[in-house]
Structure 1
Amino acid sequence: LMTSARAARLGGPGLATLAALPVYAVGEATAAAARDAGFGVAAVGERDAQALLDGMASSGKRRILWLCGRDRSTFATELTVTALPVYAVDPVDPAAGWRDSVAAPAVVLAHSARIAARAADLAGAAVKHLTLLAISAAAADAAGDGWAEKAVSPRPDDAPMLAEAVRLCHKGRQ
């Protein structure tokens, strides 16, 4: 199981020893990164990791090796999921201009639950005039309340996420 393209991109040369295992990827970007790293992709989940795990359980899978980050979510599943952290992402200070960027209404994109929570912390009271666009329902939940609006990408990939961001930016400008 790969829930992020980072697993394939940042996992290092040791991933080659696992290349014979079929990958179940969340989103096409993760699937493409897995293919680029030499993995065969058995299935691509179009929603989120929970939905993909549910589908795997329904198809008779029982044991899952999850190539993941050091910081990761948890899932409700009857499957045996063994987490193997292959990368870490550490927070950094926001870029210069962050405060100016969130001083007026804007759309904030969050590609993970961790990033959504961090964006909410960094935005502070500004969330009241910001729209959060999350890659999944779990990421939207992690961002907490108080946002002017919260939306979830129709699929866990950049293209539909960016299309939704454009729609949200133009919402109400008829």
Structure 2
Amino acid sequence: MSFAGLPVTPPPGAFLQASAEGEAALVAAVLANIGEPKRVADLFAGLGTFAVPLARKAAVHAVEGDAAALAALNKAAGALRLTTERRDLFENPLTAKELARFDAVVFDPPRAGAAAQTQALAGSKVPRVVAVSCNPATFARDARTLVDGGYVLSRVYPVDQFLWSAHVEVVGVFSRP
């Protein structure tokens, strides 16, 4: 696989986006809406779909629970401004205090969403959050948590990358007023 021109060798069973075109649309939406941060947290980072292109414009801290995916990202990262951390964000989300060092956060959880992590984000002062989700129902739940925490949802992008199915990917852009 290649993310922003960086070759990454996925381990067996690794998660990948459903189509190259869908992945390109998701990355473009994230990059277009992240602003000009100096430090970004990429949560549920996987192999680096977002972390790698983001690391070309900012320092990125990629957090992922899957050891094999994180090892593949670390092996490929080279000279990028990229640090990684293995962490189960469902059981141990980054706290508001830990999030304070970031100008922006991107998160792309599995279908279950990011309930615990969005709760911590809602209590943080991170100015910009870009959420990516393959499940509109958990996206809506997580978006409600962020909005209740003071974020404003300014844009939602549907990305139809699941050919021949009713499923849709969603990118949401949140900011603090």
Q: TM-score range by the shorter chain?
A: 0.3 to 0.5
Q: Which has the higher contact order (CA 8 A, sep 6+)?
A: 2
| Structure (1 or 2) with the larger CA radius of gyration | 1
TM-score, length-normalised on structure 2?
0.35
Query: Relative to total residues, which structure has the larger helix share, 1 or 2?
Result: 1
TM-score, length-normalised on structure 1?
0.35
